[in-house]
Amino acid sequence: MKVLSLKLKEDIFTAAERIVHAMHLPRNTYINQAVALYNELCQRKLLRRQLRRESQLVQPSTLEVLKEFERLNDQLPG
């Protein structure tokens, strides 16, 4: 476990304190849960960015594959 010093804006601290008391949670538990949740959100954003970037990289070849399938489909009897 790491120990750190944290500076919060007054309104954020006050809101967190209200919630901590209402939920009967230790402040440390609440902050750990909040950071874990925010980490998950940021990981998803990073993954979305990476997928978008990689999708753009393969887009030309994907279009070629689709065109080839269309040509194959046109050649089928029917």
Q: In this prediction, what percent of the chain has a pLDDT beyond 70?
A: 99
pLDDT tens digits for range 44-70: 999 999 999 988 887 778 878 888 878
Kindly state whether residue 31 falls inside one of the protein's structural domains. Answer: yes
Q: Tell me the pLDDT of the chain averaged across its residues.
A: 91
Kindly state whether residue 2 falls inside one of the protein's structural domains. Answer: no
Q: How far is CA 21 from CA 25, 27, 34, 36, in A?
A: 7, 9, 15, 20
Kindly state whether residue 1 falls inside one of the protein's structural domains. Answer: no
- Which residues, 6 or more positions from 58, have their beta carbon under 8 angstroms from its beta carbon? none
Kindly state whether residue 5 falls inside one of the protein's structural domains. Answer: no
Q: How far is CA 54 from CA 41, 42, 51, in A?
A: 20, 18, 5
Structural domain of residue 52, as residue ranges?
10-75
Q: How many domains does the chain have?
A: 1
Enter the pTM of the model: 0.68
